[in-house]
């Protein structure tokens, strides 16, 4: 069975790109990175793509229409089946999003629909939430909208700063993104309106509290 061919759009360091490349190195992983596009010259992620022998291109200095036109052409020529936004810091033209509808996904560092847009980790800390995390979702024209595929959760620690929380969420992203791609590649994800269903998947049968109930009980008694 042919592997799902991924086109990854980046703007910076490319750590989620590296996670997808590492996952695809396993012979039984059902997807592979086929092409990488950056909208920024000198993005560190381009070096990651080059070292892995993956074709890549830079489309910097273009308006939204020109970027969409050229990116679409490159992705189709590369035989891409699924577009993965991985730290891609540019609003995509609505026509491009529609052309790749249900074939383009994004990872965002919050538990959507909470804390959309930039500086999601800072937003979470300022709101005083007890849990944060990351979300993989299908892309729609509205920023950080679209059916959710998978989410990962981390507890927010007392006195934690934005840098520390971001680092822990990023580590979780590197596990969640390859998982979400696997689910799609295996044909297990179905979209129904604003939601998805995952064949053969189930929610964990446990819940967490923050602060921990166990610690509170032990402290009390």
Site of tokens 């990488």: 36
Say if residues 23 and 29 touch (Cβ distance below 8 Å): yes
Task: Give the burial string for 123-134 (b: 16+ CB within 10 Å, else e).
Answer: bbbeeebeebbb
Q: Which helix or strand (DSSP H or E) is residue 178 part of?
A: helix 162-185
CA gap 5, 85 in Å, rounded = 14
Catalytic one of 26, 28, 56, 108:
108
* 3 state SS of 110: coil
Distance in angstroms (rounded) separating the CA atoms of residues 165 and 109: 10
Beta strands 82-85; 4-10: pairing state: parallel
76-94 in b/e burial notation, b at 16+ Cβ within 10 A? eebebbbbbbbbbeeebbe
Copy the structure tokens of residue 84.
């993965």
* 28 noted as active-site residue: no
Active-site residues, by number, are: 108
């Amino acid at each position: 069975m042919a592997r799902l061919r991924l086109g990854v759009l980046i703007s910076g360091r490319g750590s989620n790109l590296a996670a997808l490349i590492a996952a695809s190195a396993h012979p039984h992983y059902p997807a592979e990175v086929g092409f990488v596009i950056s909208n920024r010259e000198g993005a560190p992620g381009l070096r990651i793509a080059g070292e892995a022998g993956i074709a890549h291109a830079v489309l910097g200095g273009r308006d939204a229409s020109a970027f969409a036109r050229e990116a679409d052409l490159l992705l189709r020529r590369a035989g891409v089946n699924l577009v993965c936004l991985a730290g891609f810091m540019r609003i995509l033209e609505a026509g491009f999003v529609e052309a790749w509808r249900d074939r383009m996904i994004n990872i965002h560092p919050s538990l959507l629909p909470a804390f959309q847009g930039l500086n999601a980790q800072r937003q979470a800390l300022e709101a005083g939430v007890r849990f944060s995390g990351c979300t993989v979702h299908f892309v729609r024209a509205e920023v950080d909208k679209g059916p959710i595929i998978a989410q990962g959760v981390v507890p927010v620690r007392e006195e934690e700063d934005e840098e520390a929380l971001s680092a822990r969420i990023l580590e979780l992203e590197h596990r969640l993104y390859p998982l979400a791609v696997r689910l799609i590649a295996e044909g297990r994800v179905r979209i129904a309106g604003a939601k998805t269903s995952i064949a053969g998947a189930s929610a964990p049968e446990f819940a967490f509290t923050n602060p921990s109930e166990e610690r509170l009980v032990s402290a009390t008694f």
